Structure 1
Amino acid sequence: MCGIIGIISREPVSSRLVDALKRLEYRGYDSAGIATLEGGALGRRRAEGKLANLERHLAENPLPGTIGIGHTRWATHGAPTTRNAHPHATARVAVVHNGIIENFRELRAELSAEGYAFESDTDTETVAVHVTREMDRGAAPREAVAATLKRLEGAFSLAFLFKDEEGLLIGARKGSPLAVGEGKDEMFLGSDAIALSPFTDAVRYLEDGDSVILDHGRAAIYDFDGNEVVRPLRQAVGKAFYVDKGNHRHFMQKEIYEQPEVVGHTLGAFVDMTTGRTKIPQGQPLDFSSVRRMAISACGTGFYAGTVGRYYFERYARIACDLDVASEFRYRESPLGDVDLALFVSQSGETADTLASLRYAKAQGLKTASIVNVPESTIARESDLLLPTLAGPEIGVASTKAFTCQLTALAALSVRAGVDRGAVSAEEELELTGALAEAPRMINAALHLEERIEELAHDMANHRHALFLGRGFSYPLAMEGALKLKEISYIHAEGYAAGELKHGPIALIDETMPVVVIAPHDRVFEKTVSNMQEVAARGGKIILITDEKGAASGAVDAAETIVLPNMPEILTPIVYSVPLQLLAYHTAVHMGTDVDQPRNLAKSVTVE
Structure 2
Amino acid sequence: MCGIVGCILNKEVAPTIIDSIKKLEYRGYDSVGIATVTDKINVKKGSGKIKEVDDEIHLEDIDGKIGIAHVRWATHGNPTKENAHPHCSCDNKISVVHNGIIENYKELRLELQQEGHTFKSETDTEIIPHLIEKYMNEGNDLLKSTQLTINRLIGSYALAVICTEEPDKIIGARKESPLIVGVSDHGNFLASDVPAILNETRNVIYLEDNEIIQLEKDNVIIMDKDLNPIEKEIVEIDWDPEMAEKGGFDHFMLKEIYEEPQVIKDTLSESSKIKEIVSKFKNFNRICFVACGTSYHASLIGEYLIETQLHIPTEVILASEFEYFQNTLDDHTLVIFITQSGETADTINALKVAKQVSETLAIVNVVGSSVTREAHHVIYTRAGPEIGVAATKTYISQLICIYLLVAHLSENEELIERLYTIPELTEESIEREEDIKIIAKKYKTAKDFFYIGSGFNYPTALEGALKLKEITYIHAEGYPAGELKHGPLALIEDGIPVVGLLPPGPSYSKTFNNLQEIRARGAHMIILGSEEDTKIDDVHDKIVFNQIVDELIAPLIYIIDLQLLSYHISVEKDIDPDKPKNLAKSVTVV
Which of the five TM-score ranges fits, normalised by the shorter chain? over 0.9
The correspondence for 2:348, drawn from 338, 344, 355, is 355
Counterpart position of 2:2:
2
Q: Equivalent residue for 2:85?
A: 86
The answer as to whether partners of 1:373 and 1:389 remain within 8 angstroms in 2 is yes
The offset of 1:130, in angstroms, is 1.7
Q: Is the CA contact 1:193–1:237 (under 8 Å) kept in the aligned structure 2?
A: no
* CA-to-aligned-CA distance 1:95-132 (integer Å, 9 cap, x gap): 11111112222222222222221111111112122212
Show CA shifts across 1:300-325 (max 9, x none). Answer: 00000011111111121222112101
What amino acid is the match of 2:503? P
Letter in 2 for 1:83: E
1:27 corresponds in structure 2 to 27
Residue 465 (1) aligns with residue 448 (2): yes
CA gap of 1:485–1:509, structure 2 versus 1, over 3 A, is same
Q: Structure 2 length as normaliser, TM-score?
A: 0.96
2:60, 2:288 → 1: CA distance?
A: 54
Distance in 2 (CA, whole Å) between partners of 1:210 and 1:331 is 31
Distance (whole Å) between structure 1 residues aligned to residue 275 and residue 495 of structure 2: 52
| 1:561 CA displacement | 1.2
Structure-to-structure mapping, 1:162-177, within 5 angstroms: 162-177=163-178
Distance in 2 (alpha carbons) for counterparts of 1:55 and 1:332: 47
User: Helix, strand or coil for the counterpart of 2:516?
Assistant: helix
Write the deviation string for residues 319-339 of structure 1: whole angstroms up to 9, x where unpaired: 211210100012444321264
Cα displacement (A) at 1:539:
1.1
In 1, are the aligned partners of 2:99 and 2:177 still within 8 Å (CA)?
yes
* Contact persistence 2:34–2:59 (CA under 8 A): no
For the 8 Å contact 2:274–2:408, the answer to whether it is kept is no
Change (3 A) 1:434 1:547: same
- State the one-letter code of the partner of 2:175: K
Q: Which one of the candidate residues 294, 301, 304 is aligned to 1:311?
A: 304
Match of residue 221 from structure 1 = 222
After superposing the two structures, state which structure 1 stretch, 3-12 or 483-492, moved more: 3-12
Cα distance per residue 1:130-181 (max 9 Å; x no partner): 2122223332211211111111122221100112321121000011111112
TM-score, with length taken from structure 1? 0.93
Alignment of 1:514 onto 2:497: yes
The 3 A distance-change label for structure 1 pair 220 and 304 is same
Partner in structure 2 of residue 562 of structure 1 = 543
Amino acid in the other structure paired with 2:392: T
Q: Does 1:579 align with 2:561?
A: yes
Residue 416 of structure 2 is aligned to residue 433 of structure 1: yes
Cα offset, 1:604, TM superposition: 0.8
Q: Aligned pair 1:329/2:322, yes or no?
A: yes
Quote the offset at 1:472 in angstroms.
0.4
How big is each residue's C-alpha offset from its partner over 1:53-84, in whole Å with a ceiling of 9 and x where there is no partner?
34334538821011110111222222222111
The count of aligned residue pairs is 587
1:484 aligns with 2:476: no
Task: Summarize the Cα distance change of 1:172–1:535 in structure 2 as closer, same or farther, 3 Å threshold.
Answer: same
Letter in 2 for 1:516: V
* Structure-2 separation of matches of 1:80 and 1:282: 48
CA shift in 2, pair 1:222/1:152, >3 Å: same
Give 5+ residue unaligned stretches, structure 2.
none
Which aligned pairs between 1:28-43 and structure 2 lie closer than 5 A? 28-39=28-39, 41-43=40-42
Match of 2:185 in 1: 184
1:274 maps to none
Structure 2 match to 1:417: 409
What is the one-letter code of the residue matched to 1:69? I
Greater than 6 Å deviation, 4+ residue runs = none
Q: Secondary structure at the match of 1:124?
A: coil
Post-superposition shift, 1:282?
8.7
Quickly say closer, same or farther: Cα 1:126–1:332, change in 2 above 3 A. farther
Question: Does the aligned pair in 2 maintain the 1:375–1:386 contact within 8 Å?
Answer: no
Structure 1 residue 184, shift from structure 2 partner? 2.4
Contact 1:510/1:539 (CA < 8 Å) preserved in 2?
yes
Structure 1 residues 507 and 432: alpha-carbon distance in aligned structure 2, compared to 1, 3 A threshold:
same
The offset of 1:242, in angstroms, is 3.9
Q: Deviations 1:374-415 (Å, cap 9, x if unpaired)?
A: 011110121111101001100000000000000011011001
CA contact (8 A) 2:494 2:523 kept: yes
Is 1:379 matched with 2:379? no
Task: Give 1:193 shift.
Answer: 2.2
Q: Is the 8 A contact 2:268 2:420 kept in 1?
A: yes
Describe how 1:213-292 pairs up with structure 2 within 5 A: 213-239=214-240, 241-270=242-271, 279-281=272-274, 283-284=276-277, 286-287=279-280, 290-292=283-285
Q: Is the 8 A contact 1:78 1:121 kept in 2?
A: yes
Q: Distance in 1 between matches of 2:521 and 2:248?
A: 43
Report deviation, 1:457. 1.0
CA RMSD of aligned residues (A): 1.7
8 Å Cα contact 2:291/2:318 also seen in 1:
yes
Indicate how the Cα distance of structure 1 residues 339 and 479 shifts in structure 2: closer, same or farther if over 3 A, else same: farther
3-state SS in 2 of match to 1:570: coil
* Counterpart residue identity of residue 548, structure 1: E
1:393 corresponding residue in structure 2: 385
SS at structure 2 position matched to 1:100: coil
1:216 Cα deviation (Å)? Answer: 2.2
Sequence identity percentage:
42
Measure how far apart 1:543 and its partner are. 1.1
Aligned mates of 1:242, 1:119 — CA distance in 2: 40
Task: Give 1:320's aligned residue.
Answer: 313
Residues 173-212 of structure 1 mapped to structure 2, 5 A cutoff: 173-184=174-185, 186-212=187-213
